[in-house]
Amino acid sequence: MLPKPRIAAVILSAGESSRFRTGHKALPEPFGGDLLKRSVSALSLAGLAKPMVVCSPGFPEVIELAESLKALVLVNPEPGKGMFSSVLTALNTLRAKKSALILPVDAGLVEPDSILSIISYWQEFGPKKDDLIVLPAFRNKLGHPPIIGKRRNADIIAFSGDHGLKGAISSLTRNPAEARSILSGLVPEDRLSDSCLRIKPLEDPSILTDVDTVEDLERFSSVKSDSGFKPQATPEKALTLLSLVGKPIKMSHSLAVALGALRLAVEMGSSGASLAFIGGVLHDLDHGRSNHARAAKKRLTLLGWTEAAFVVGSHTQLNDQLRRRLGLPPGKSFGKGPDPSDRPVEEEVSPAVFEAAVCVHMADKYLKGPNLVSLDYRFDPINHNITTEEGMATLKRRLFEAESLEKWFHRRLGQSPRDVIMSPCLHPLEDLAEGVCGQGVGPQLL
């Protein structure tokens, strides 16, 4: 229903780091800049776990580190030929099987949110995307990481000119002015409509980082922290993250909850409709892990999507802030150990975030898979294979919570929230979900 993009992340880490005085920039501090771990972490948060890391045979400690980070290690037999030889090492492995997102370890400060923005933009081109090369840009300058569509891998491999990857990419345009701009690292002004190159403007200055020295690392880290750049969840990026990370068995449920929550928010007149959709898309992102709501909340917090993290973190159990605003008594933690969602929230969330959170919570309780069910059925111990007294008590508390929220919605909407969830609304996100996932997406009647 939501196709998984055939894209591999490639980290280029075969350089000698001769200018990084304390050691190799890929290695952990204090002997390096810890840029390999930062790169792997950013890619993993963006849904690209287990990247390919191109290493030099002369640095076994970098190879060992890459393996410890669960990466696929590729050894460049001739790293002295420069960074482009590492690009070719990766593309010769991928051939036409997968597209490649190329991240030099020198650019290991790139935000995971920006990586998702680039992938999401690339996916917008549908089947044509594999013929394209996407270049991220900050203001007028091109940065990292680019995406090379898999049907362009052979063109890059066949390039025998100068200027490495820039030269190879510039050779694919028939426009001399565009080619000169690419070689200069600048956004082309004069472009042909049939060019295979696409530019994705971003507001993140970290895509321009190029760490060669200890001073570079300190300077670029300062620029990044002072830039004021704020990661932002969008419906498109949420769908991209779900396609990369989500389990296929949960896709139809996640999308049904997203549209159900959207419809509730629209009917409510909430300004949090988009956030409700995003929360629905992402609520089961880490399903299968212990306390999947907590795991997904942590991932989204690290991504910088704090509002979406709050919504997702409260989809299994309403936290105390939500319960207080709904007029419910304080709740108890479900499962083992304290849930971060239960801890007192220092700052009250906005009405939009509050409404998005309760819309996602309510929609999730009505849907088993993509199918509309009653609350009694949803919390029937038989359907959960629960026989212990503790498990029974937990289900009883969750049923009470869901029934209380159902009554709150009924008073707010003047109708059953179940009926609202089953009624498509005139909202662009309905069209987006159908366009990305095909017809028939959304809540279904059994």
The crossing angle, in degrees rounded to 10, of helices 35-45 and 292-303 is 120
**Inside any domain, residue 271:** yes
Burial label, 93 (beta-carbon count in 10 A; 0-12, 13-18, 19+): middle
Residue 138 neighbours by CB distance under 10 Å:
19
Same domain, yes or no: 294 and 215: no
Same domain, yes or no: 240 and 219: no
**Inside any domain, residue 419:** yes
**What pLDDT is stored for residue 334 in this prediction?**
43
In this structure, what DSSP letter does residue 151 have?
G
Same domain, yes or no: 244 and 211: no
**What pLDDT is stored for residue 408 in this prediction?**
95
Same domain, yes or no: 88 and 142: yes
Give CA–CA dist 231/113, Å, rounded. Answer: 6
Same domain, yes or no: 261 and 179: no
Interval 19-60: pLDDT, tens: 787 788 999 887 788 999 999 999 999 999 999 999 999 999
Position of tokens 């203001």? 139
Which of 203, 226, 249 marks a domain boundary?
A: 226
- For residue 13, the surrounding DSSP H or E stretch is strand 7-13
Same domain, yes or no: 239 and 364: yes
Same domain, yes or no: 191 and 331: no
**What pLDDT is stored for residue 332 in this prediction?**
58
Under 8 Å between Cβ of 187 and 137: yes
In this structure, which amino acid lies at residue 169?
Answer: I
Same domain, yes or no: 193 and 113: yes
Under 8 Å between Cβ of 379 and 367: no
| pTM assigned to the model | 0.92
Low-confidence ranges of the chain (pLDDT < 50): 333-343, 345
For residue 54, the Cα-to-chain-centroid distance in whole angstroms is: 23
Give CA–CA dist 81/164, Å, rounded. Answer: 10
Same domain, yes or no: 169 and 64: yes
Same domain, yes or no: 175 and 242: no
**What pLDDT is stored for residue 331 in this prediction?**
67
Which of 180, 206, 226 marks a domain boundary?
A: 226
**What pLDDT is stored for residue 299 in this prediction?**
95
Same domain, yes or no: 112 and 135: yes
Q: How many domains does the chain have?
A: 2
Domain containing 11 equals 7-226
- How many angstroms separate the most distant Cα atoms in the chain? 74
**Inside any domain, residue 196:** yes
How many alpha carbons lie under 13 Å from residue 395 in its C-beta half-sphere? 18
Which of 226, 246, 276 marks a domain boundary?
A: 226
The distance in angstroms from the start CA to the end CA of the chain is 19
CATH number at residue 405: 1.10.3210
